């Protein structure tokens, strides 16, 4: 017998979980949110998206101050007050999570501060933060437990020198020498932060490219921007055999030719990816199936193999993005509320908040080619943008993937300052099935970086104002 019962139980308080709880309450459903934190927020708000972007803002400010020397504006070398910086970052996190806590109370959502595992397909065992246990019965449930960093085997012996993204964001120190293992978005973002704060940062990536899977043309602009920031970027390189020394930790670095060398670092940031947090939920007791990659298997309505149990966010599959989790949460709750909806986004935007930023949405050029689509790529270099010139930042590119016959915009990629903000317009265009003509006829404010989208669309017809690129017949 359950100690208490709820109509909808939500496991996990991140962007998927709290979005589900809030919408459920707005639709008149009884919702119980199970999460160990005092306030919702999950990994994104507490130790991911928000603290990293707060620190990346500081890194960008430092970078702009350095660049200002070229314009005749000289600043003294920045002095980093690490305790004050950490305090500001923590204040941002506290402000946002505290706001979510107030919204829980205002919406009259029951928040059980603890963790949950399935006892069966209609019962959860909830263990609170003091160790007490209770059984929670439910009619329906949403699993939104998120993901966790992947750890490298063989690095346990040097634990005091090893960071995951969580430890890196605690900002306890600025190491003199930092090795970042992994050239994906987490490694590059946090590497950017520590390099700006004064650390000597080296990046080791085992594949031939930074940001594996991202449009190579966009990454070339990024590489040019971050090369001066990092001490070295080692591609097709693996890091193994960490050995603790008196003055740091020595690591073996092996390149694509199999040649090994060693280097000494103060800290090692392991940023080789994340994995779904599904293994300790007792899913087998509820007969919830997991796929070969460890993700909970879901259908187009975010339903799992167990009737009445849904899964959203990182635990339910790629891409592992907060905004994708929130959108999936909406779908799951609306299905529970009896609405006939499915999860079928035409474009899920992704952003790497380095400097320059990289953002993309929809179908990439490589994907269009692989699918055999009839397409054309329209590129607008920021060297032709008046606004980028006034910023001293002509190191950017806006590109559109356009279906040849229909002119429909299939995808977009942007690299440059503010790319993460600009990509939203492309997402709307893709979702609305807008054409290159539609986008080109929309009046954009001048001078802005948003004009690069308009002119990229006009290039499809060979009529862009600020660049001469006639349409091929």
Q: DSSP code of 296?
A: B
From CA 53, how far away is CA 66, in angstroms rounded?
Answer: 20
Same domain, 137 and 160: no
Is 129 inside a domain boundary? yes
List the CATH number of the domain containing 382: 3.30.390.30
| Residue 76: per-residue pLDDT | 83
| Residue 472: per-residue pLDDT | 58
Same domain, 279 and 267: no
Is 414 inside a domain boundary? yes
Same domain, 316 and 247: no
Structure tokens given for 232: 């070295």
Of 339, 173, 193, 355, the C-alpha closest to 266 is 173
Distances (CA, A) of 401 to 39, 230, 288, 319, 374: 42, 32, 39, 21, 10
Q: Which of 230, 245, 272 is the last residue of a domain?
A: 272
Same domain, 331 and 362: no
Q: Cis check for the bond before 447: say yes or no (omega within 30 of 0).
A: yes
Same domain, 49 and 178: no
| Residue 191: per-residue pLDDT | 98
Same domain, 43 and 71: yes
Number of Cβ within 10 Å of residue 3's Cβ equals 12
Is 118 inside a domain boundary? yes
Same domain, 263 and 280: no
List the CATH number of the domain containing 206: 3.50.50.60
Helix 17-26 × helix 82-106 angle, to 10°: 30
| Residue 471: per-residue pLDDT | 64
| Residue 464: per-residue pLDDT | 87
Each residue's pLDDT tens digit in the chain (473 positions)?
778 999 999 999 999 999 999 999 999 999 999 999 999 999 999 999 999 999 999 999 999 999 998 899 998 888 999 999 999 999 999 999 999 999 999 999 999 999 999 999 999 999 999 999 999 999 999 999 999 999 898 888 788 999 999 999 999 999 999 999 999 999 999 999 999 999 999 999 999 999 999 999 999 999 999 999 999 999 999 999 899 998 999 999 999 988 999 999 999 999 999 999 999 999 999 999 999 999 999 999 999 999 999 999 999 999 999 999 999 999 999 999 999 999 999 999 999 999 999 999 999 999 999 999 999 999 999 999 999 999 999 999 999 999 999 999 999 999 999 999 999 999 999 999 999 999 999 999 999 999 999 999 999 999 988 887 766 55
Can you give the residue range of the structural domain that contains 74?
Answer: 4-149+275-336
Buried b (16+ CB within 10 A) or exposed e, 186-215: bbbbbbbbbbbbebbbbbbbbeeebbeebb
**Residues 6 or more apart in contact with residue 192 via CB below 8 angstroms:** 56, 59, 226, 229, 354, 355
Report how many domains make up the chain: 3
Structure tokens given for 265: 């670092």
Q: Is 327 a catalytic residue?
A: no
Same domain, 130 and 11: yes
**Residues 6 or more apart in contact with residue 191 via CB below 8 angstroms:** 178, 180, 201, 203, 230, 269
From CA 151, how far away is CA 84, in angstroms rounded?
Answer: 30
Is 466 inside a domain boundary? no
Q: Which of 272, 296, 312 is the last residue of a domain?
A: 272
One of 57, 161, 209, 446 is an active-site residue; which one? 446
From CA 439, how far away is CA 441, in angstroms rounded?
Answer: 5
Same domain, 141 and 287: yes
Same domain, 259 and 309: no
Same domain, 289 and 246: no
Q: Cis check for the bond before 356: say yes or no (omega within 30 of 0).
A: yes
Q: Which of 272, 289, 324 is the last residue of a domain?
A: 272
From CA 27, how far away is CA 21, in angstroms rounded?
Answer: 10
Is 281 inside a domain boundary? yes
Is 472 inside a domain boundary? no
Same domain, 178 and 245: yes
Is 468 inside a domain boundary? no
Is 306 inside a domain boundary? yes
């Amino acid at each position: 017998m359950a100690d208490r019962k709820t109509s909808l139980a939500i496991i996990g308080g991140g962007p998927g979980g709290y979005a589900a709880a809030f919408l459920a309450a707005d639709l008149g459903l009884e919702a119980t949110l199970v999460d160990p934190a005092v306030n919702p927020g999950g990994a994104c708000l507490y130790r991911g998206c928000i603290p990293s972007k707060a620190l990346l803002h500081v890194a960008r400010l430092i970078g702009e101050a350095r660049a200002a020397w070229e314009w005749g504006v000289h600043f003294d070398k920045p002095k980093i007050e690490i305790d004050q910086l950490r305090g500001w970052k923590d204040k941002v996190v506290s402000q946002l999570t505290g706001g979510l806590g107030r919204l829980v109370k205002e919406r009259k959502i029951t928040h059980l501060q603890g963790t949950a595992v399935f006892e069966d397909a209609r019962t959860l065992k909830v263990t609170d933060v003091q160790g007490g246990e209770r059984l929670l019965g439910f009619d329906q449930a949403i699993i939104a437990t998120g993901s966790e960093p992947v750890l490298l085997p063989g690095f346990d012996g040097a634990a005091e020198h090893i960071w995951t993204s969580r430890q890196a964001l605690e900002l306890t120190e600025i190491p003199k020498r930092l090795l970042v293992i992994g050239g994906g978005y987490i490694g590059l973002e946090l590497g950017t932060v520590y390099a700006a704060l004064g650390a000597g940062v080296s990046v080791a990536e085992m594949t031939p490219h930074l940001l594996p899977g991202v449009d190579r043309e966009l990454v070339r602009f990024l590489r040019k921007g971050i090369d001066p920031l990092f001490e070295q970027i080692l591609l097709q390189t693996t890091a193994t055999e960490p050995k603790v020394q008196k003055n740091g930790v020595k690591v073996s670095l092996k390149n694509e030719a199999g040649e090994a060398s060693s280097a000494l670092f103060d800290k090692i940031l392991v940023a080789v990816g994340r994995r779904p947090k599904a293994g300790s939920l007792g899913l087998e007791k509820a007969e919830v199936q997991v796929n070969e990659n460890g993700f909970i298997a879901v259908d187009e309505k975010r339903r799992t193999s167990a009737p009445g149990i849904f899964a959203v966010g990182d635990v339910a599959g790629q891409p592992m993005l907060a905004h994708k989790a929130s959108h999936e949460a909406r779908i799951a709750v609306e299905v529970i509320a009896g609405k006939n909806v499915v999860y079928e986004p035409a474009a899920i935007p992704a952003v790497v908040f380095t400097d320059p930023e990289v953002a993309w949405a929809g179908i990439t050029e490589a994907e269009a080619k692989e699918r055999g689509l009839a397409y054309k790529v329209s590129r607008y270099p920021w060297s032709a943008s008046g606004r980028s010139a006034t910023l001293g930042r002509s190191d950017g590119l806006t590109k559109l993937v356009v279906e040849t016959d229909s002119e429909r915009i299939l995808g977009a990629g942007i690299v440059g300052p503010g790319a993460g903000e600009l990509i939203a317009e492309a997402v709307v265009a893709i979702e609305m099935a807008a054409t290159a003509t539609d986008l080109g006829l929309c009046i954009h404010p001048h001078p802005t970086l948003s004009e690069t989208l308009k002119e990229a669309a006009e290039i499809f017809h060979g009529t862009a104002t600020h660049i001469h690129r006639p349409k091929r017949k």
